[in-house]
């Protein structure tokens, strides 16, 4: 059997069925809303919303990103699978460079406030630097990066969706003419 077929069977086994989600005791009160077909269907409007939401929650929510993106997808009618998949932007390989970039961006936005004497001192100077300079700079950078990447993700996925539809229509037209 081809590797794609094995992967498909593994995914089918691992994915919960609609019935198991609807009968889950924790999800039963909201199962009707969560299982609404518009949240799971891939459309030109819901997928970009899901991608943008996944970018935001992936960067701003430190733990529980997928449940957070699924809950936030409800009011904005975003595609839940797209939102959940996009949260994987942050993973153990990408998080450290993302945080370093956030610190640099936040420091640039907030302006230079580094006191070199505080860094030379022992622990209290480092703690002061962490709480009063690195923390606000990193948080500011994370907010700016999250919003910026969400905007790029939204418009990028909308353009990719449009490109895919145009290519699909061209293939159909060529098939009819041939």
Residue 88 above 60 pLDDT?
A: yes
Domain presence at residue 85:
yes
Distance CA 20, CA 22 (A): 5
Distance CA 158, CA 134 (A): 35
pLDDT tens digits, 37-74: 788 888 899 999 999 999 999 999 988 898 899 889 98
Domain presence at residue 121:
yes
Domain presence at residue 15:
no
Domain hosting 154: range is 36-177
pLDDT tens digits, 109-163: 988 665 545 445 555 666 666 666 788 888 999 999 999 999 999 999 999 999 9
Domain presence at residue 57:
yes
Residue the block writes with tokens 């997808």: 73
Domain presence at residue 105:
yes
Q: What is the mean pLDDT of the chain?
A: 83
Number of structural domains found in the chain: 1
Domain presence at residue 10:
no
Task: Give per-residue burial for 151-168: e unless 16+ CB within 10 Å, then b.
Answer: eebbeebbeebeeeeeee
Domain presence at residue 22:
no
Domain presence at residue 1:
no
């Amino acid at each position: 059997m081809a590797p794609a077929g094995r992967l498909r069977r593994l995914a089918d086994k691992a994915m919960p069925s609609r019935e198991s989600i609807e009968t889950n005791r924790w999800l039963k009160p909201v199962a009707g809303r969560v299982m609404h077909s518009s949240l799971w269907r891939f459309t030109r409007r819901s997928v970009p919303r899901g991608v943008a939401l996944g970018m935001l929650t992936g960067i701003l929510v430190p733990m529980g990103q997928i449940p957070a993106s699924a809950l936030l997808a409800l009011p904005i009618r975003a595609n839940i699978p797209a939102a959940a998949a996009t949260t994987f932007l942050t993973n153990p390989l990408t998080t450290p460079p993302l945080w370093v970039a956030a610190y640099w961006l936040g420091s640039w936005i907030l302006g230079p406030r580094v006191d070199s004497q505080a860094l030379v001192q022992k622990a209290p100077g480092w703690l002061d630097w962490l709480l009063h300079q690195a923390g606000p700079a990193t948080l500011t950078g994370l907010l700016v990066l999250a919003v910026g990447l969400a905007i790029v993700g939204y418009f990028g996925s909308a353009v990719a969706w449009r490109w895919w539809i145009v290519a699909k229509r061209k293939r159909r037209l060529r098939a009819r003419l041939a």
